[in-house]
Amino acid sequence: MAHVDRQQWDVVVVGAGGAGLRAAIEARERGARTAVICKSLFGKAHTVMAEGGIAASMANVNENDNWQVHFRDTMRGGKFLNQWRMAELHAREAPDRVWELETWGALFDRTADGRISQRNFGGHEYPRLAHVGDRTGLELIRTLQQKIVALQQEDFERTGDYESRLKVFQECTVTQVLKAHDRVAGAFCYARESGRFFVLEAPAVVLATGGIGKSFKVTSNSWEYTGDGHALALLVGASLVNMEFVQFHPTGMVWPPSVKGILVTESVRGDGGVLRNSEGKRFMFDYIPEVFKEKYAQTEEEGDRWYDDPDNNRRPPELLPRDEVARAINAEVKAGRGSPHGGVFLDVSTRMPAETIRRRLPSMYHQFKELADVDITAEAMEVGPTCHYVMGGVAVESETAAAVGVPGLFAAGEVAGGMHGSNRLGGNSLSDLLVFGRRAGAHAAEHAAVMDRRDEVPAEVIDAAAAEALAPFRAEDGAENPYALHQELQQTMNDLVGIIRREAEMAKALKRLAELRVRARRAGVEGHRQFNPGWHLALDLRNMLLVSECIALSALERTESRGGHTREDYPSMDRAWRPVNLVCRPVEPAPADPAAARIALVRQRTEPIRPDLLALFAKEELVKYLAEEELYE
Amino acid sequence: MSTYEARFKVWRGDGDGGGLKDFAVEVHDGEVVLDIIHRLQATQAPDLAVRWNCKAGKCGSCSAEINGRPRLLCMTRMSVFSREETVTVTPLRAFPVVRDLVTDVSFNYAKAREVPSFVPPKDLAAGEYRMQQIDVERSQEFRKCIECFLCQDTCHVVRDHEENKAAFAGPRFLMRVAELDMHPLDAAGEAGLDRKRAAQEEHGLGYCNITKCCTEVCPEGIRITDNALIPLKERAVDRKYDPLVWLGSKIRRRSEG
Amino acid sequence: MATGTDPADLATGRGGGVHEASRAAIAARHLRTDRWWLAPALTAAGLLAFVVYSTWRAFSNSDYYAAPYVSPFYSPCLAENCVPMKAGPNWEIFGSWWGLSPALLILIFPLGFRLTCYYYRKAYYRGFWASPPACAVAEPHRKYTGETRFPLVLQNIHRYFFYAALPVAGILTYDTVLAFRDASYAWGHAGLGTVVFLVNIVLIWAYTFSCHSCRHIVGGRLRHFSRHPVRYRLWGLVGRLNDHHMLLAWTSLFSVAFADFYVYLLATGTFDDPRIF
């Protein structure tokens, strides 16, 4: 086997989105030599797509807000399945994480008294989202990117080398997390530009790779979202929780076909946009679920009053949590009351003056103008659900973000599971990235610091990783086209494990996934290793297939509907499932037959919610969520 | 829904050479150039290298040149071309080519490092920052930048003169200097850093001859020339070429001191 | 600007700029398929026409006064050899030794203002110097130093020409007021020429206030608009004018030439000023 370059670092962060960069900043500030590795160019990560804002209870707009209210909203949004300690830490620490961004140069929109302005969002009781127009994610990523550059400038002053203590390996991909002596020892990577392999040896690896949306056909996610971190974790012995919970954002573009799935920000509704069906009816009033009946307006008049007088009115049901809205849209379309291109109408044009729309929703205005020839100041948008976010992810310790069962492995951001329970509230992802990115960075640095003896990765481990990565070039006759395989996978997941799920379909999905696994073994590519997208996709297929298997398996197992998991055959929430997590673990040893299942599913009881946190809720509310036996405790 | 076959010329090659290759490819309603490039990958040229990411004009990855004009592949609709027209797609021509449509944009990352970062005010802790909306709006416009580097690509100062790359930061990073100089709380001055002077002396502001190509290509519609570069030039004049302002500030400093 | 004008080595396809060895090997200097040459060609033609016309008129030293109108090219008239204009802008600062056309004394200021104007710079760099001819079209110069050294570094004194343009515009306003007389200097009258002068002076002021230096001076240089509400509003107003700087540059250029031409027509007796009241 050819010689493979090795470099030694203290912490390796996989992914350069919000969580990865925040982790890297923290690790470097705590003295760890830190490498960040990302598939795209530095500053292009999927975080830039986040539009609405960062949820943090700074109480700048409504002084009644505090971390307890935020915690409550988060738990309700997640239908109480959240890893409660994570939700607590998140709600407590989010304001500090936002304020700290300002000291790094971020410029949020302001209130009249000069503080950070906060906007309304689905599921949040008070205006809570710090934002910059509708490009908050861009502001976040740019601020973190510029903070990294600032740290590199410091290092340059001190050492004469910008990259001596913090380096970004852009356009590089990790194909395996490497272990030695049963703990993390590094990562096996290739550079996309040259196709060359290299190994970053480090005692701590932080996974911050984001989500899995590219396994679905209609998605708001970018090509990077192939579930890399989920798969890397599984392959190194970690487990995934709650993988059945996939959030379908209610409002994605539905036309033209080439942009189907691209996100229409929730701020459209937060700022006054309403949903109507083809009969012109504001149908969301028909879809307020029992648990939320007291919290939402029952009439259009009350809902409209709320925008100006939120203290004396209840919010309109367009601002229900995302899972509810997505299901409602799905049902309207199914009932034949959809828009011409199979969505429903989202209208701001009749609700706000054109000038206000252009100022508050500039990128939405341009997105529709340029991609669909629709002027949102004059006509309604057509929208429908799009795969947006995975609540499930690597099982982690709440405090440290350490992956359960693999010393030296950490996970933060979308790749980590637990925080959002069965459904994430809008705005909670950016704050999640910052809160747990920082925690992961801090604990990875600490872990690296106490590991005085560094493990060298054995040569045969590296050779095996290289051989796996090169397999697509050795495909014989009858090689499969990776693009075709990918499309089939997306179609399978979309049709059979999509927004509304049925037992028979999911069983069929598992069978198809097994077939695809067999065929993916034969995925072949043309050309050479230098910037070859066919090869990159062939390698990503392994990850998408693994993750898809976890989703289908868990979704089949959970016989209830909750948050981002809706079963047609079990349409209501079942309190008995509340304290149950479904955990995916790799079958060990990995079966030689590619058709055999790679994932074993385990039911795990969740840790009881701390009494003082339970006390934040009214008894009547808890009765709706908690399982019988939990109520007695 | 209508479909037709379009003729494309796509540059294929690497640093050692290459050329425009002809393709005939199906086009559907509402598609953008990036969709066509993806169709080429999936059906005719699986190893065709292209950089892309969000496909919604938000990340600035898929920069290339279409019919000779720097553009985002994902924001260029096929409907802007006639059906008879041959669409030519090449990589950015101001940067070294890596392969096919992918170029080496490291120039931009090197320039980003040369701009001193935001300097937080010493007397304010996190959470104590107070800024008025009208004071942050100018810098906010520049922070809309998605770093697609189309402005860097089209700017003739470096596009047509490789040797100027060392001295010239390019529109994107001069705009970054302007952004920081207009930031209401940037404490660079207190730290002994003169961003206005540095723009002229270290980042090559004088090379800009305000021909506005950067503004023309900006997919975010940022008015780079009018709102960043010219104001920055005027600020540099304050520091370097305007004796009245210079005298005024001297007198004021003395009376304050 | 460019110090050499040799085209890069186009024959080999590997020269400077876009033909640099590291860049994608494309022989063409550009691949634009639109009529990119149209805008610089029109710009060059328009500017050239004005230069030819104004040079002729500035050196002609005649036919610049037809009571009550004075050509804006000759106002204020600063030498003794000026035509006496009743209550008009005769200030004989330069005395009798000046023998050339008095227009040359004053035109330096508006000329300098426009020559260093950010819009005109773009226009003539593109139109006359092909630097660049159009966006993403390779320029034919081997070297380029922009406005970093003499003489182009002098473009930085634009704001002084702006200051100078203010009194000049003031005097032209005065001339416009004087145009509310008839040929025998009786007040309260107006002719077509008065309208021409009015339109011209409005455009001149609009162009002058839409200047980028003006925008900087009234408010652009501030760090905190919120502490200077009046200047912030002024900055906003100037900004709105500044959005149309190019349009104002052309229309005011045309109107000033037309005002002069109108006076020329009257002075030579080619045309009689139609009286309105």
Q: Write the DSSP string, A562-602.
A: BTTB-BSSS-S--GGGTTEEEEEEE-SSPPSSTTS--EEEE
pLDDT at A1 over 80: no
Which residues of chain B are within 8 Å of residue C148 when distances are taken between CB atoms? 204, 206-207
Which of A:61-90 have CB within 8 Å of B? Answer: none
The token pair at A273 is 């946009």
pLDDT tens for each residue of A399-425: 999 999 999 999 999 999 999 999 999
Which of A:278-337 have CB within 8 Å of B? Answer: none
How far is residue B46's CA from residue B31's CA, in Å, rounded to a whole number?
A: 20
Check: CB of residue A36 under 8 Å from CB of residue A231: no
Nearest to A367 among B49, B56, B129 (CB): B56
CA angle A193, A195, A197 (to 5 degrees): 120
Q: What is the DSSP secondary structure assignment for residue C187, as one 8-state letter?
A: B
Q: Does B49 touch chain A (CB under 8 A)?
A: yes
B239: closest CA of chain A, how far (Å): 24
The closest of B255, B237, B256 to B245, measured between CA atoms, is B237
How far is residue C261's CA from residue C72's CA, in Å, rounded to a whole number?
A: 10
Q: How many CB pairs under 8 A join B and C?
A: 161
Q: Do B55 and A222 touch (CB under 8 A)?
A: yes
Q: How confident is the model at residue A154 (pLDDT cuts 50, 70, 90)?
A: very high
The closest of A386, A345, A436, A501 to A49, measured between CA atoms, is A386
The closest of C31, C6, C33 to C18, measured between CA atoms, is C31
**Which residues partner with A168 through β-bridges?**
A36
pLDDT at B256 over 70: no
pLDDT, position C14: 58
Q: How confident is the model at residue A603 (pLDDT cuts 50, 70, 90)?
A: very high
Instruction: Work out the average pLDDT over C209-215.
Output: 97
pLDDT tens for each residue of A38-94: 999 999 999 999 988 999 999 999 999 999 999 999 999 999 999 999 999 999 999
Q: Does C12 touch chain B (CB under 8 A)?
A: no
Check: CB of residue A493 under 8 Å from CB of residue A509: yes
How far is residue B61's CA from residue B65's CA, in Å, rounded to a whole number?
A: 13
pLDDT tens for each residue of C224-272: 999 999 999 999 999 999 999 999 999 999 999 999 999 999 999 999 9
The token pair at C9 is 């080595």
Q: Does B140 touch chain C (CB under 8 A)?
A: no
pLDDT tens for each residue of C90-125: 888 888 888 899 999 999 999 999 999 999 999 999
The closest of B40, B30, B32, B31 to B8, measured between CA atoms, is B40
pLDDT, position C10: 42
pLDDT at B255 over 70: no
Amino acid at position C240, single letter: R
Instruction: Work out the average pLDDT over A223-239.
Output: 96
Domain ranges of chain C: 34-267
Amino acid at position A572, single letter: S
pLDDT, position C84: 87
Distance of CA B257 to the CA centre of its chain: 41
* Residue A515 shares a structural domain with residue A594: yes
The token pair at A5 is 């370059």
Of the candidates A33, A142, A269, A322, the residue annotated as catalytic is A322
Count Cβ atoms within 10 A of the Cβ of residue A577 and give its class: 0-12 exposed, 13-18 middle, 19 or more buried: buried
Pick the residue of C122, C155, C156, C215 with the most B CBs within 10 A to test the interface with B by mutation. C156
**Partners of chain B (3+ Cβ pairs below 8 A):** A, C
In a domain? residue A620? no
Which pairing describes strands A11-14 and A34-38: parallel, antiparallel, or unpaired? parallel
Which residues of chain B are within 8 Å of residue A115 when distances are taken between CB atoms? 130
How far is residue A20's CA from residue C40's CA, in Å, rounded to a whole number?
A: 48
Helix, strand, coil abundance in chain B, percent, nearest 5: 40, 15, 40
Q: What is the DSSP secondary structure assignment for residue B57, as one 8-state letter?
A: S
pLDDT at A595 over 60: yes
Mean pLDDT of chain C: 92
pLDDT, position B1: 57
Residue with tokens 């027509």: C265
B201: closest CA of chain C, how far (Å): 9
Q: Do C242 and B93 touch (CB under 8 A)?
A: no
Nearest to B211 among C126, C149, C157 (CB): C126
CA-CA-CA-CA torsion sign (A328, A331, A336, A342):
positive
Which pairing describes strands A34-38 and A166-170: parallel, antiparallel, or unpaired? parallel
pLDDT at B241 over 90: no
Question: What count of residues does chain A have?
Answer: 633
* Residue A32 shares a structural domain with residue A160: yes
pLDDT, position B243: 76
C255: closest CA of chain B, how far (Å): 25
pLDDT at A459 over 60: yes
Q: What is the DSSP secondary structure assignment for residue B1, as one 8-state letter?
A: -
Check: CB of residue A489 under 8 Å from CB of residue A541: yes
The closest of A626, A601, A517 to A242, measured between CA atoms, is A601
| Per-position b or e across A124-150, b if 16+ CB within 10 A of its CB | bbbbbbbbbbbbbbbbbbbbbbbbbbb
In a domain? residue A625? no
Which residues of chain A are within 8 Å of residue B31 when distances are taken between CB atoms? 256-258
* Residue A397 shares a structural domain with residue A378: no
Alpha helices in A244-321 (DSSP H): 267-270, 300-306
B84: closest CA of chain A, how far (Å): 22
* Residue A74 shares a structural domain with residue A195: yes
User: What's the domain count of chain A?
Assistant: 3
Instruction: Work out the average pLDDT over C159-179.
Output: 95
pLDDT at C195 over 80: yes
All structural domains of chain B, each given as residue ranges with its CATH number in brackets, are: 3-103 (3.10.20.30), 106-256 (1.10.1060.10)
Within a 10 A sphere around the Cβ of B231, how many other Cβ atoms? 20
Alpha helices in chain C (DSSP H): 38-60, 103-115, 118-127, 158-178, 192-209, 212-215, 229-242, 245-267
In a domain? residue A627? no
Per mean pLDDT, which of A280-294, A329-343, B242-256, C188-202 is the most reliable?
C188-202
Which of C:229-258 have CB within 8 Å of B? Answer: 232, 242-243
The closest of A561, A583, A564 to A572, measured between CA atoms, is A561
* Residue A193 shares a structural domain with residue A299: no
Told to judge if A578 belongs to the known catalytic residues of this protein, a careful annotator would answer no
Which residues of chain B are within 8 Å of residue C158 when distances are taken between CB atoms? 237
Check: CB of residue A280 under 8 Å from CB of residue A344: no
* Residue A280 shares a structural domain with residue A409: no
The closest of A179, A217, A231 to A201, measured between CA atoms, is A179
**Which residues partner with A539 through β-bridges?**
none
Please tell me whether the peptide bond between A250 and the residue prior to it is cis, using omega within 30 degrees of 0: no
The closest of B63, B160, B40 to C23, measured between CA atoms, is B160
First to last CA, chain B: 73
End-of-domain residue from the set A417, A434, A460: A460
Q: Which residues contact A458 (CB under 8 A, 6 or more apart)?
A: A180
Which of B:77-96 have CB within 8 Å of A? Answer: 77
pLDDT, position A283: 96
Which residues of chain A are within 8 Å of residue B132 when distances are taken between CB atoms? 110, 114
The reply to whether ipTM tops 0.90 is: yes
How far is residue B92's CA from residue B150's CA, in Å, rounded to a whole number?
A: 8
Check: CB of residue A382 under 8 Å from CB of residue A345: yes
* Residue A225 shares a structural domain with residue A313: no
Pick the residue of B85, B86, B234, B238 with the most C CBs within 10 A to test the interface with C by mutation. B234
* Residue A97 shares a structural domain with residue A231: yes
Beta strands in A440-579 (DSSP E): none
Instruction: Work out the average pLDDT over B215-225.
Output: 96
Q: Does C228 touch chain B (CB under 8 A)?
A: no
Rg of chain A (C-alpha set)? 23
Distance of CA A534 to the CA centre of its chain: 25
Which pairing describes strands A5-8 and A197-201: parallel, antiparallel, or unpaired? parallel
Check: CB of residue A235 under 8 Å from CB of residue A598: no
* Residue A446 shares a structural domain with residue A524: no
How far is residue C192's CA from residue C169's CA, in Å, rounded to a whole number?
A: 21
A537: closest CA of chain B, how far (Å): 10
* Residue A221 shares a structural domain with residue A255: no
The token pair at A50 is 């986040």
In a domain? residue A466? no
pLDDT at C11 over 70: no
Rg of chain B (C-alpha set)? 22
End-of-domain residue from the set A386, A405, A435: A386
Element spanning A384, H or E: strand A381-390
Instruction: Work out the average pLDDT over A370-386.
Output: 93
**Where residue A280 sits, what CATH number does that domain have?**
3.90.700.10
Q: Do B159 and C136 touch (CB under 8 A)?
A: yes
Range of the domain at A57: 5-246+389-460
Check: CB of residue C33 under 8 Å from CB of residue B68: yes
Q: Does B147 touch chain C (CB under 8 A)?
A: no
Count Cβ atoms within 10 A of the Cβ of residue A553 and give its class: 0-12 exposed, 13-18 middle, 19 or more buried: buried
In a domain? residue A623? no
Element spanning C82, H or E: none
Which residues of chain B are within 8 Å of residue C125 when distances are taken between CB atoms? 209-211
The token pair at A541 is 């297929």
pLDDT, position C2: 40
Pick the residue of B27, B29, B118, B132 with the most A CBs within 10 A to test the interface with A by mutation. B118
Element spanning B23, H or E: strand B17-28
How far is residue C225's CA from residue C230's CA, in Å, rounded to a whole number?
A: 9
pLDDT, position B50: 96
* Residue A561 shares a structural domain with residue A500: yes
Q: Do A132 and B140 touch (CB under 8 A)?
A: yes
Instruction: Work out the average pLDDT over B216-220.
Output: 96
Element spanning A169, H or E: strand A166-170
How far is residue B106's CA from residue B166's CA, in Å, rounded to a whole number?
A: 13
Check: CB of residue A535 under 8 Å from CB of residue A472: yes
Q: Do B57 and A370 touch (CB under 8 A)?
A: yes
pLDDT, position C87: 81
The token pair at B187 is 């404490």
How far is residue A249's CA from residue A389's CA, in Å, rounded to a whole number?
A: 8
Q: Does A156 touch chain B (CB under 8 A)?
A: yes
Which pairing describes strands B17-28 and B3-14: parallel, antiparallel, or unpaired? antiparallel
pLDDT, position A453: 77
Q: Does A164 touch chain B (CB under 8 A)?
A: no
**Where residue A500 sits, what CATH number does that domain have?**
1.20.58.100
The closest of A366, A373, A257, C34 to B82, measured between CA atoms, is C34
pLDDT tens for each residue of B20-35: 999 999 999 889 999 9
First to last CA, chain A: 60
Q: How many CB pairs under 8 A join A and B?
A: 174
B145: closest CA of chain A, how far (Å): 9
3-state secondary structure of C20: coil
DSSP for C23-73, please give it. S----SS----S-TTHHHHHHHHHHHHHHHHHHHHHHH--S-EETTEE-GG
CA angle A485, A489, A491 (to 5 degrees): 115
pLDDT, position A2: 60
* Residue A432 shares a structural domain with residue A528: no
